Amino acid sequence: KVPSIHHFYEDSFPVGVAVEPEQLEGIEGRIVDKHYNSIVAENVMKPISLQPEEGKFNWGPADKIVEFAEKNHMDLRFHTLVWHNQVPDWFFKDKDGNEMVDETDPKQREKNKKLLLKRLETHIKKVVKRYRDEVDAWDVVNEVIDPYASNDRGLRESKWYQITGTDYIKVAFETTRKYAGEDAKLYINDYNTNESPKREYLYDLVKEMLDQGVPIDGVGHQTHINVAWPSVESIRESIELFSSLGLDNQITELDMSVYPYPPSGEYKSYEEIPQEILDLQGQRYQEIFDLFEEMDDQISNVTLWGVADDKTWLDDRFNDQEVPGKDAPMPFDPNYNVKPAYWGIVDLL
Ligand code: XIL
């Protein structure tokens, strides 16, 4: 018997986990129920899953997660209303089936923009109305900053941006507020929010939006990190930076790769990962959770991006290797046993 993670942080913040509906049964379901008091869908609440075809909504898998959250008295994070990935193509095609981004006629471009924003509103309205009573935090837009973009504001040049400029961000927040209500908590979510110049680009965008009255409540820091990067200090600085705008912070997708960047995938199974790396990972988790706890007046949720090391999105990076590498970013090993990362999180290392 091992102590429950969320009990340990009871006085600070809920601790959450990302899941697929299939993981809510058996041993994984028991881990989720025991160790976490907040939950998020790893995939099934993304636009491609919820509205694969225009007007045809697929609620089943998402509903399962909502029901589990209710039954087990967990908080629910919604991920995500807007993203440039996992969004179906139909959003960006005009009535004749042409790609909106290819349009050159200014009049038709204006029409396309209207149509896309209308579709966005409809998507948000339908989804928010269905889940508003259960959701505690909404990822309204995801990954809209790209420090390598060719514009000087670090705005990701997604189809959303190419067709609407930054209007899609405004419309997304305004529509979510409209249907979710004044008490709803609305987040702008991104990765590498600790890194310059990305965090400054994000800061400038959020500040501009707030000045225009766009209803943003907080920043979601994905926090996909590794055993060598980043420094705990840079995470602290970023939280403080966004707090200075009067915003809340959530840690939304925490995981810690055993590989420094770029990941080599040199360990071909969990057993091949050196013990000292797993120990180092445990220490890093401990330091980072110490920081979160210390800053608990500025952080209202900490969520891990997966249950155990048997299934992690980070392994997808090795799909093209002859013998695919194995990563191990979570507190539970591939057999669902606790590992140093777990002991670090519960401060017992
Ligand atoms: C990832 C999922 O974990 C994968 O299963 C899926 O194939 C791709 O998306 N940032 C995000 C998440 O905001 O939605 C991503 O989730 C991981 C990176």
CATH number for the domain harbouring residue 18: 3.20.20.80
Please state the pTM of the whole predicted model.
0.99
pLDDT at 1: 87
Please tell me the total count of domains within the chain: 1
Element (H, E) at 171: helix 167-180
pLDDT at 196: 98
CA quadruple 89, 93, 95, 98: dihedral, nearest 10: -120
60-110 tens-digit pLDDT = 999 999 999 999 999 999 999 999 999 999 999 999 999 999 999 999 999
42 lines ligand 1 (CB under 6 A): yes
CA 113 to centroid of ligand 1, rounded, Å: 27
**Mean pLDDT over each residue of the chain, to the nearest integer:** 98
- Spatial separation of the C-alpha atoms in residues 59 and 337, rounded to whole Å: 33
CA 211 to centroid of ligand 1, rounded, Å: 31
Tell the residue nearest (CA) to atom 3 of ligand 1: 313
**List of the chain residues with pLDDT < 50:** none
Ligand 1 site-directed mutation target among 22, 43, 83, 144, most atoms within 8 Å of CB? 43
175-203 tens-digit pLDDT = 999 999 999 999 999 999 999 999 999 99
Residue owning tokens 């840690």: 251
Ligand 1 site-directed mutation target among 313, 315, 319, most atoms within 8 Å of CB? 313
CA 313 to centroid of ligand 1, rounded, Å: 7
Residue 129 is encoded by which pair of tokens? Answer: 């109305």
Nearest atom within ligand 1 for CA of residue 224: 18
Which residues does 113 contact at the CB level (< 8 Å), separation at least 6? 163, 164, 167
- Between 167-180 and 106-131, two packed helices, what is the crossing angle to 10 degrees? 30
**N residues, the chain:** 349
pLDDT at 207: 98
313 lines ligand 1 (CB under 6 A): yes
- Spatial separation of the C-alpha atoms in residues 219 and 141, rounded to whole Å: 10
Backbone angles phi, psi at 261, to 5 degrees: -85, 140
| Domain of residue 162, residue span | 5-345
Tell the residue nearest (CA) to atom 12 of ligand 1: 42
Backbone angles phi, psi at 226, to 5 degrees: -140, 180
234 lines ligand 1 (CB under 6 A): no
pLDDT at 209: 98
Residue 176 is encoded by which pair of tokens? Answer: 């979510």
3-state secondary structure of 43: coil
**Residues with active-site annotation:** 253
